[in-house]
Amino acid sequence: MEFFNGQHWRRLTMDDGLIWNDVAENGFFEDTDGSVWIGTSNGISHILEPASLTAPNTLEVAITAVARGAVAQPQASSYRFNYKNKLSLSLYLATLNAPTRTTLQYRYRLKGLERDWVSSDRPRVDYPPLPPGNFTFEAMAYDPDNRQYSPVVQLSVRIVPPWWQRTPAVLGMLTLLALGIVLAWHMRTRHLRARARSLEALVASRTRELEVDKQALEVARAALWQQATHDALTGLPNRSHVLDILAQAMRDARKQNQPLAVALIDLDHFKRINDHYGHLTGDAVLIEASARLRAALPPGGTLGRYGGEEILAVVPNVPRHDPAPFEALRQHISKGVFGADDAHVELTCSIGVSWLQPPDKDAFDLIRRADTALYLAKTEGRNRVVAEGERWEPS
């Protein structure tokens, strides 16, 4: 039976003293003494004090006991347990200040593990082994007959993690990890620095070796160049090199519009020296003659061994028909005896000179005219200078 007391509806059942839960049609009667007769299919219930049915009941719920792993725990406002993988958690509930009703329900949740409320008519709540963390158990009772909720009760439960998961241990492990990383980085850096120093030393050593090899190569290249371009006996440029020098001098003279003279110098009767004193003495005389000619050569001039006892002189900036530079060469040869291996040799030379002319196509045109002048100097008695038909008698 349901009735309204002016504020809210309420359901009356056998839990409230009725003989049965249903009410017969027109089975409600109020007596003169204020009591109420209620007829049901199972009989008549007589309510002596109807006002007691509308008296408000304060519905409360309480957590009466806590057990972990089937072991009851002392009553406390909060609990702190060490983590153990196989220990479940059980909580026992009870209602206060409310009659016992078969329809009474409990609603609960474990915050930190559950978000939604769970409904049950059992006063016991069981949880499997909880992970480490902080949880709050919340519970309330619900009377569907009176549409009434009890206040929510709370109980804090903390599951302490194993020592290796606790903050000090984690901080310690992180510290050890950081120290390990720093140590590994330091060792790696030290290794890299040592490796860098080793590589620097190796590079420096190799650089020095390369410098030495480079210098040796340059010396060898210079020696090869010297052998390829200079006469081994006199040290003068050889025929090929002096011809290159003459070709470049011709280009420079034409470009700068300057005179250029070429002289072919032949040592007179040089074969007699070889035949009389030997080739070693002849070589010594040829070396000294080259040195004398080099000392008397005008600035900018070049001497080259043209062949045998013939020497080619390339002399730029000598005015045409000026015999002075070539007469000086002749005099340096004949000014004194040549002393070689206890031999005292007197020597003279014949010189043929030519100057660069516009018709000259190459160096051989210039040398050919100098050779013609040299031939005239020899046929006219040697020991003289002849330049393209002009003769100068020795002084």
Q: What is the rounded distance in angstroms from the CA atom of residue 67 to the CA atom of residue 55?
A: 36
What pTM did the predictor assign? 0.51
With vertex at residue 205, the alpha carbon angle to CA 204 and CA 210, rounded to the nearest 5 degrees, is 95
Q: Which residue out of 25, 49, 288, 309 is catalytically annotated? A: 309
Domain boundaries, the chain: 2-53, 60-161, 165-228, 239-392
Q: What is the rounded distance in angstroms from the CA atom of residue 247 to the CA atom of residue 253?
A: 10
Q: What is the pLDDT of residue 98?
A: 62
Measured N-to-C along each axis, helices 270-277 and 279-296 cross at an angle, to the nearest 10 degrees, of 140
Going by C-alpha positions, the residue among 85, 103, 99, 95 that lies closest to residue 64 is 95
Strands 338-340 and 390-392 come out as: unpaired
- Alpha-helix residue ranges (DSSP H) falling in the chain: 167-229, 239-256, 270-277, 279-296, 324-334, 363-379
Q: Contact, 93 vs 153, CB < 8 A?
A: no
CATH of 239-392, one of 3.30.360.10, 1.25.40.80, 3.20.10.10, 3.30.70.270: 3.30.70.270
Q: What is the pLDDT of residue 9?
A: 61
Q: Contact, 140 vs 62, CB < 8 A?
A: no
Mean pLDDT by 10 residues, the chain (395 residues): 58 62 67 74 71 67 92 93 89 79 86 93 93 94 84 94 85 91 91 92 92 91 89 93 95 94 95 90 92 94 94 94 91 86 84 92 92 94 86 59
Reduced to 3 states (helix: H, G, I; strand: E, B; else coil), residue 170 is helix
- At 146, the amino acid letter reads N
CA distances from 121 to 131, 197, 226, 265 (A): 27, 81, 118, 139
* CATH 2.60.40.10 given to domain 60-161: yes
Q: Contact, 81 vs 159, CB < 8 A?
A: yes
Q: Is 55 left (phi over 0), alpha (psi -120 to 50) or beta?
A: beta
Please confirm, yes or no, whether 309 is among the known catalytic residues. yes
- The DSSP result for 62-111, as a single string, is EEEEEEETTEE----SEEEEE--TT--EEEEEEEESS---TT-EEEEEEE
Q: What is the pLDDT of residue 70?
A: 85
Q: Rounded to the nearest 10 degrees, how much is the dihedral formed by the CA atoms of 14, 142, 77, 67? A: 70
Q: What is the pLDDT of residue 128?
A: 93
Q: What is the pLDDT of residue 302?
A: 96
Q: What is the rounded distance in angstroms from the CA atom of residue 44 to the CA atom of residue 371?
A: 169
Going by C-alpha positions, the residue among 356, 338, 354, 207 that lies closest to residue 284 is 338
